[in-house]
């Protein structure tokens, strides 16, 4: 009886062991190329819609989803238009994707279950769709711009563009560059790489006044080769080349006074002359912040997906996350938004200041960042020190309450002179009495 029991037990153990070994052997290899991720639940639960494509799927993660299938026919039309535009055989483009399949799969942080042929087709069709969409969007960038139902429907283009900047809707930038045929594209007579062409369309989403010189800088090609996808390109356009990090005492972020309180303490607000969204400076009592254009819910989605990429991909240099911490600290009430709008730091196109307050405060929900390596640590410390200085508060109070108009200034001067004259008369009276 004992042998029978142990015999059955050993057999079961061997079967289970073999099953586990099969599972272990079938585990996909984790690659250092990973750059496209599912958005973590701690971020998605705050606003699921901000991370989910509404019109078009790009890549394998949302391919075939209900509500997105109607765009598949338009994608194929764009592929046909691109082949006609470049006069290059379809087989050539298929071979480019096929030869890069393993590297492409390694860019996704999870296993992709599509077969080889399905996967290659998805990547090819979606990549060419993005390239052709950008070419059609700006007629200055190409010699031909044939009519198309998608392009003739501005509402559709406006709905598609935000979907191209979702983390789960990304394609590796290298495959877009490989499929891009630059000989067919010029801009002001100059040949552009795909990344440079994309900057013309996408960087102004965060930079209201992008500099053309940045697009034609030969060194930018080296920078572009290190970028992962369009979201990475957008972050690269927002962050200064050499951001400075410092240690921020835990809890300091919560103690930063709001924009209104800082202004009452004499801090002046100005629009930064820098071309990067995160190019923020504080010097001589002046806080310079680049303009942030808040248009609609798409603005929130763009920033959220930049943050999501940082949270998944970079444990240290989470610069956009730091930007959200700073702006969320400055904005607490509608008066803070009103102040920043007054100084043209925020361009509020949604109208309601309270909606901007909600937006700026919720952007930080679920965001993790390191107090020991914070991009704006020095600015935080300087602002808090300035705010706590009683002399700064006294000067600001005089200027804002007594010298904020010519009439009030004259009144204060007149009152001061009257006070001085009264004092002199009093002193003279006392002297007369003493001498008498």
Which of the two residues, 237 and 421, has the higher pLDDT score? 237
Distance of CA 97 to the CA centre of its chain: 29
β-strands 268-271, 281-283 pairing: unpaired
pLDDT at residue 217 in the model? 41
Asked which of 68-82, 209-223, 398-412 is least confident by mean pLDDT, the reply is 209-223
d(CA 267, CA 291) in angstroms, rounded, equals 17
Kindly tell me if the per-residue pLDDT of 397 is higher than 60.
Answer: no
Among residues 206, 136, 134, 215, which one has the least CA distance to residue 171? 134
In this structure, the chain runs to a length of 436
d(CA 228, CA 233) in angstroms, rounded, equals 8
pLDDT at residue 416 in the model? 63
Kindly tell me if the per-residue pLDDT of 74 is higher than 70.
Answer: yes
Return the C-alpha torsion angle 175, 179, 144, 302, nearest 10: -10
Kindly tell me if the per-residue pLDDT of 405 is higher than 70.
Answer: no
- H or E element in which residue 60 lies: none
pLDDT band at 242; cut points 50, 70, 90: confident
d(CA 277, CA 305) in angstroms, rounded, equals 16
Query: Which of the residue ranges 14-23, 130-139, 184-193 has the most confident prediction, judged by mean pLDDT?
Result: 14-23
- The alpha carbons of the chain give a radius of gyration, in whole angstroms, of 30
pLDDT at residue 90 in the model? 96
The distance between the two most distant Cα atoms of the chain, rounded to a whole number of Å, is 132
| Span 349-368, pLDDT tens digits | 988 999 999 999 999 999 99
Among residues 307, 255, 301, which one has the least CA distance to residue 278? 307
Which of the two residues, 276 and 177, has the higher pLDDT score? 177
pLDDT band at 434; cut points 50, 70, 90: low
Residue corresponding to tokens 């013309």: 200
Token duo for residue 2: 């004992």
- What are the φ and ψ backbone dihedral angles of 98, each rounded to 5 degrees? -60, -45
Token duo for residue 67: 């509500």
Mean pLDDT of 116-144: 85
Which of the two residues, 33 and 220, has the higher pLDDT score? 33
| Span 304-344, pLDDT tens digits | 999 999 999 987 789 999 999 999 999 999 999 999 999 99
For residue 271, list its beta bridge partners: 289
pLDDT band at 139; cut points 50, 70, 90: low
pLDDT at residue 251 in the model? 65
Mean pLDDT of 8-28: 80
pLDDT band at 402; cut points 50, 70, 90: very low
Mean pLDDT of 216-223: 45
pLDDT at residue 400 in the model? 52
pLDDT band at 27; cut points 50, 70, 90: confident
Token duo for residue 112: 């992709």
d(CA 201, CA 138) in angstroms, rounded, equals 8
Which of the two residues, 39 and 315, has the higher pLDDT score? 39
Which of the two residues, 259 and 29, has the higher pLDDT score? 259
Token duo for residue 246: 């410092």
pLDDT at residue 253 in the model? 65
Mean pLDDT of 362-380: 92
Kindly tell me if the per-residue pLDDT of 425 is higher than 60.
Answer: yes
d(CA 253, CA 272) in angstroms, rounded, equals 22
Asked which of 7-16, 31-40, 229-238, 373-382 is least confident by mean pLDDT, the reply is 7-16
Mean pLDDT of 297-309: 92
Among residues 300, 320, 309, 292, which one has the least CA distance to residue 204? 292
Distances (CA, A) of 25 to 13, 18, 32, 116, 267: 18, 10, 19, 20, 61
Which of the two residues, 395 and 137, has the higher pLDDT score? 137
Mean pLDDT for all residues in the chain: 83
Mean pLDDT of 272-293: 90
With b meaning 16 or more CB within 10 Å and e meaning fewer, what string describes 367-396?
bebeeebbbbbebbbbbbebbeeeebbeeb
Token duo for residue 406: 């010519």
pLDDT at residue 228 in the model? 94
For residue 293, list its beta bridge partners: 347
Among residues 143, 154, 141, 168, which one has the least CA distance to residue 68? 168
pTM, to two decimals: 0.82
Which of the two residues, 393 and 68, has the higher pLDDT score? 68
pLDDT at residue 336 in the model? 97
pLDDT band at 396; cut points 50, 70, 90: very low
d(CA 12, CA 285) in angstroms, rounded, equals 75
Distance of CA 363 to the CA centre of its chain: 11
pLDDT at residue 255 in the model? 82
For residue 348, list its beta bridge partners: 294
pLDDT at residue 337 in the model? 96
What is the percent of the chain with per-residue pLDDT over 70, rounded to a whole number? 75
pLDDT band at 6; cut points 50, 70, 90: very low
């Amino acid at each position: 009886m004992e042998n029978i029991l142990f015999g059955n037990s050993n057999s079961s153990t061997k079967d289970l062991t073999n099953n586990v070994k099969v599972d272990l052997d079938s585990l996909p290899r984790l690659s250092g190329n990973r750059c496209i991720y599912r958005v973590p639940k701690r971020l998605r639960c705050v606003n699921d819609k901000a991370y989910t494509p509404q019109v078009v799927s790009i890549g394998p993660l949302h391919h075939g989803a209900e509500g997105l299938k109607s765009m598949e026919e338009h994608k194929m039309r764009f592929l046909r238009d691109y082949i006609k535009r470049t006069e290059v055989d379809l087989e050539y483009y298929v071979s480019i994707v096929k030869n890069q399949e393993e590297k492409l799969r390694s860019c996704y942080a999870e296993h992709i279950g599509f077969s080889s042929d399905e996967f290659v087709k998805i990547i090819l069709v979606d990549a060419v769709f993005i390239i052709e969409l950008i070419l059609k969007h700006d007629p200055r960038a190409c010699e031909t711009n044939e009519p198309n139902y998608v392009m003739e429907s501005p509402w559709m283009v406006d709905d598609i563009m935000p979907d191209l900047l979702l983390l789960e809707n990304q394609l590796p930038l290298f495959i877009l560059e490989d499929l891009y045929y630059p000989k067919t594209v010029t801009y002001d007579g100059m040949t552009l790489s795909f990344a440079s062409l994309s900057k013309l369309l996408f960087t102004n989403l965060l930079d209201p006044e992008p500099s053309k010189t940045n697009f034609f800088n030969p060194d930018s090609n080296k920078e572009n080769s290190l970028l992962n996808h369009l979201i990475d390109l957008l972050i690269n356009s927002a962050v200064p080349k050499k951001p400075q990090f410092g240690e921020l005492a835990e809890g300091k972020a919560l103690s930063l006074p709001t924009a209104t309180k800082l202004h009452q303490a004499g801090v002046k607000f100005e629009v930064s002359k820098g071309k990067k969204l995160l190019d923020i400076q504080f010097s001589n009592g002046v806080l310079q912040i680049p303009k942030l254009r808040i248009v609609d819910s798409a603005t929130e989605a763009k920033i959220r997906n930049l943050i999501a990429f940082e949270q998944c991909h970079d444990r240290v240099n989470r610069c956009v996350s730091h930007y959200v911490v700073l702006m969320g600290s400055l904005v607490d009430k509608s008066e803070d938004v009103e102040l920043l709008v007054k100084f043209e730091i925020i361009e509020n196109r949604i109208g309601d200041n309270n909606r901007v307050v909600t937006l700026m405060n919720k952007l930080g929900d679920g965001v993790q960042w390191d107090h020991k390596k914070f991009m704006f640590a020095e600015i935080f410390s300087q602002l808090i020190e300035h705010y706590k200085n009683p002399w700064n508060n006294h000067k600001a109070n005089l200027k804002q309450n007594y010298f904020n108009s010519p009439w009030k200034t004259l009144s204060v001067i007149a009152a001061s002179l009257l006070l001085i004259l009264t004092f002199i008369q009093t002193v003279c009276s006392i002297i007369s009495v003493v001498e008498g």
